[in-house]
Amino acid sequence: MADQPTAFERFVQGILPENPVYRQLLGLCPTLAVTNGMKPAITMACSVAFVLLCANIVISLIRNLLKPHLRIVVFTLTIATFVTIADRFLAAYLFQMSKTLGPYIPLIIVNCLIICRCEVCASKQSVGTAASDAIGQAIGFGLALSSIAAVREILGTGMFFGMRVLPSAWPDWVIMVLPPGAFITLGLLLGFVNWIGIIKSRRSVND
């Protein structure tokens, strides 16, 4: 469609302007659940990226065959297929991480981010544009999870990717690696992102 964003615009928008977590508030369940450390956060981000990219490509390929009343079912079945592949891959090659993430990998099936991109972009635009959208959104999602996990891991344990980055005298903020720490960190970073957005909008108005 002529009025739809281009592939490049889809890619760029997904990273910051339409960041899945900080702008659209999508995928908050894994965002809160697996960001107590960088390794699980990166693993989740990669899993979501794989599923999102594959689902967007498949849905775009069959977009002209989709029936309006069945599209959500088709989206869900397509997503479930690739989630199963990701889940089995982790269980086979990264067993300990698979155990750490537990049910959150299978729950990617109902991740609003992926269903949203299938509906908004993949079911309406070409394969190239759908793939660009998926990559941009995946990068944005990964950046969000990484930023939250970095804050929580460093403040909560004094470590980053398992390596100590703060002095041994640092009093670990244990609350940061517990569920309340996820809400605190997400809230503060959301506020920071919104504050930056307000500053930029004021500058553009003044210019």
Q: Which residues contact 170 (CB under 8 A, 6 or more apart)?
A: 158
Kindly report, residue by residue over 179-204, the tens digit of the pLDDT: 899 999 999 999 998 888 888 778 77
Kindly report, residue by residue over 98-138, the tens digit of the pLDDT: 999 988 999 999 888 999 999 999 999 999 999 999 999 99
Kind and range of the H or E run holding 143: helix 127-157
Predicted local distance difference test score (pLDDT) of residue 207: 65
Q: Which residues contact 141 (CB under 8 A, 6 or more apart)?
A: 19, 20, 21, 27, 45, 48, 49, 52, 113
Predicted local distance difference test score (pLDDT) of residue 144: 94
pLDDT at residue 2 is higher than 80: no
Kindly report, residue by residue over 38-79, the tens digit of the pLDDT: 999 999 999 999 999 999 999 999 999 988 888 999 999 999
pLDDT at residue 163 is higher than 90: no
Predicted local distance difference test score (pLDDT) of residue 106: 92
- Looking at the DSSP bridge assignments, the partners of residue 47 are none
Predicted local distance difference test score (pLDDT) of residue 169: 82
Instruction: Please report the sign of the dihedral spanned by the C-alpha atoms of residue 131, residue 133, residue 139, residue 144.
Output: negative
How many Cα atoms sit within 13 Å of 17 on the Cβ side?
Answer: 7
Predicted local distance difference test score (pLDDT) of residue 50: 97
CA 136/CA 120 separation, integer angstroms: 14
Contact criterion met (CB below 8 Å) for 138 and 21: no
Nearest to 20 by CA among 31, 9, 6, 35: 31
Taking the domains of the chain in order of start, what are their residue ranges?
7-199
